[in-house]
Amino acid sequence: MNYPWLIRFVARLTVLLGAGSGAALAQWQVAFPAYQAGFPFAFSTMNDSSLVNGSSVAIADLNGDTVPELVVGTKNGRVMAYRTNGTRLWVYPSTGNLGMGIESKPAIADIDLDGFPEVVVSVGSTLQTNQDGRLLVLSHTGSLQCEFLPNMTTTAFRDGIYASPALAELDSTNPGLEIAVGGWDGRFRVLRSNCTVIWERHLRDSIWSSAAIGDLDRNGQLDIVVGSDSHLEGPPFNTLDGGILRNFKADGSSEQAGFPVQFNEVLYSSPALGDINGDGFLDIVIGTGRCWDVPACAVPPGNTHAGRRVPSGAGSPGQPPLRLAGRHPWALRVRLPGSRRSRRRWRSRSDRRDDRQIEQQRPGRSPARQRHLHAGLAGDSHRPRRLRGHRQPWNPGITGRGRSHR
């Protein structure tokens, strides 16, 4: 949904529950106070042909008048600062746009200790393609102080940074605050206020999650918690399809004991830290992706989804059997029309039921001419678990269209 205006209001919801004449009665009263002067306003009337789509508004006093301003990113990659009366303070860039949209929340603090706050904004969006992502540090007047350009992994353009930056003092040898953020290039980085990198870690998959920073083990040093995607990968990484929760020390030298933690769902959401059980230590709360019970991408019990083969040479005499791997860690049963079913089986981790394996491709045909595969659940219909013991390279792609496609 696009929001071409900013609205400032406070909503009050009053719910009165009662009973009368033997039936429950509910009365809802919703009161919306009047808009603050100057709101709502349309960007189009301010000669700002922009839409706010995903970026959250940050509030801070930028010009030192003790009245906070509103800062937000737009779909076409502009950063806008507005006074609370609806008039524009500044926009960056003042002409044109950055191309890739902004779906993050700006972070505002005096990171270089010059007495004025800086605005740190990550640029990355699913709404704009073939554009460069980046990290911006803007002055309180909206001028560019520095920028960081991520890697290029699959295209000629810099990968986007969708996550919102976190600001904290992570390096005692460096004056000011550091910037902690991960990007779609799979790197999590801590940068100085001048956009140079202090350390980075390659997490081997895209990062959508914004970092949370706190002293989790109460050793007087800050820790950095962030989620990332993960995919099936063998030794030495040994990761599964889903997501991984990381907990780095402030200097990036290592992770805390017990981390990383593997999940069988992606971790797009950002972690929150707080002592929720009263033991004096910060706990981590994070949400996962949801696919296993969504018909569009999960396999319902007894149904099938399409599989796409990657030739591996399996099926010839003496060659190892095929394996199952895909976007989602289901326990799968595979049947290839015209092929011999294997008597070999493996067990899924959760229900201990046997799941069938194909040992041989259809004889007499090259891998490119093999017929289509059908994959369906063999148990674990509500709690997806990865199978044990499959190691050979064959990767079905789950399309969700319910038919075979090569």
CATH number of the CATH domain containing 99: 2.130.10.10
Classify residue 44: in a domain, yes or no. Answer: no
State whether 319 and 187 are in the same domain.
Answer: no
Give the chain's domain count.
Answer: 2
State whether 260 and 132 are in the same domain.
Answer: yes
pTM comes to 0.67
Domain that holds residue 138: 49-285
Say how far apart CA 266 and CA 289 lie, in whole Å. 5
Task: Tell me how many degrees the CA angle 77-82-87 measures, rounded to the nearest 5.
Answer: 125
Say how far apart CA 26 and CA 41 lie, in whole Å. 36
pLDDT tens per residue across span 222-249: 999 999 999 888 899 989 888 999 999 9
- Concatenate the DSSP letters of all residues of 226-249 into one string: EEEEE--B-TTT-B-SEEEEEEEE
Say how far apart CA 358 and CA 340 lie, in whole Å. 8
Phi, psi of 368 (to 5 degrees): -70, -20
Residue 124 DSSP class: B
pLDDT tens per residue across span 119-168: 999 999 988 777 889 999 999 999 999 999 998 776 788 899 999 999 99
Classify residue 17: in a domain, yes or no. Answer: no
Residues in Cβ contact with 216 at an 8 Å cutoff, skipping those fewer than 6 apart: 223, 225, 247, 256, 273, 281, 282, 284
State whether 275 and 358 are in the same domain.
Answer: no
Q: What is the pLDDT at residue 36?
A: 79
Whether residue 358 has pLDDT greater than 70: no
Classify residue 41: in a domain, yes or no. Answer: no
Classify residue 2: in a domain, yes or no. Answer: no
3-state secondary structure of 348: strand
Last residue within a domain, chosen from 252, 285, 318? 285
Last residue within a domain, chosen from 285, 305, 329? 285
- The answer to whether residues 254 and 238 touch, using CB atoms and an 8 Å cutoff, is no
Say how far apart CA 55 and CA 73 lie, in whole Å. 6
State whether 96 and 234 are in the same domain.
Answer: yes
Task: Spell 304-328 as b/e; 16+ CB within 10 A means b.
Answer: bbbbebeebebbeeeebbbbbbbbb
Classify residue 4: in a domain, yes or no. Answer: no
State whether 133 and 264 are in the same domain.
Answer: yes
Q: What is the pLDDT at residue 209?
A: 96
Say how far apart CA 160 and CA 129 lie, in whole Å. 10
Q: What is the pLDDT at residue 336?
A: 40
State whether 179 and 302 are in the same domain.
Answer: no
Residue 367 DSSP class: G
Last residue within a domain, chosen from 228, 258, 285? 285
Classify residue 371: in a domain, yes or no. Answer: yes
pLDDT tens per residue across span 325-334: 333 333 333 4
Biggest distance spanned by C-alpha atoms of the chain: 80
Q: Where are the alpha helices (DSSP H) in 67-191?
A: none
Strands (E), 206-300: 212-214, 223-230, 242-249, 261-263, 272-274, 283-285
Whether residue 357 has pLDDT greater than 60: no
State whether 99 and 215 are in the same domain.
Answer: yes
C-alpha 145 chain-centroid distance: 27
Classify residue 385: in a domain, yes or no. Answer: yes
Q: What is the pLDDT at residue 31?
A: 53
3-state secondary structure of 385: coil
pLDDT band at 297 (very low <50, low <70, confident <90, very high): low
Residue 252 DSSP class: S
- Helix, strand, coil proportions of the chain in percent (round to 5)? 0, 35, 65
Residues in Cβ contact with 194 at an 8 Å cutoff, skipping those fewer than 6 apart: 112, 137, 145, 146
Whether residue 215 has pLDDT greater than 50: yes
Average confidence (pLDDT) over 306-314: 38
State whether 139 and 274 are in the same domain.
Answer: yes
Q: What is the pLDDT at residue 151?
A: 82
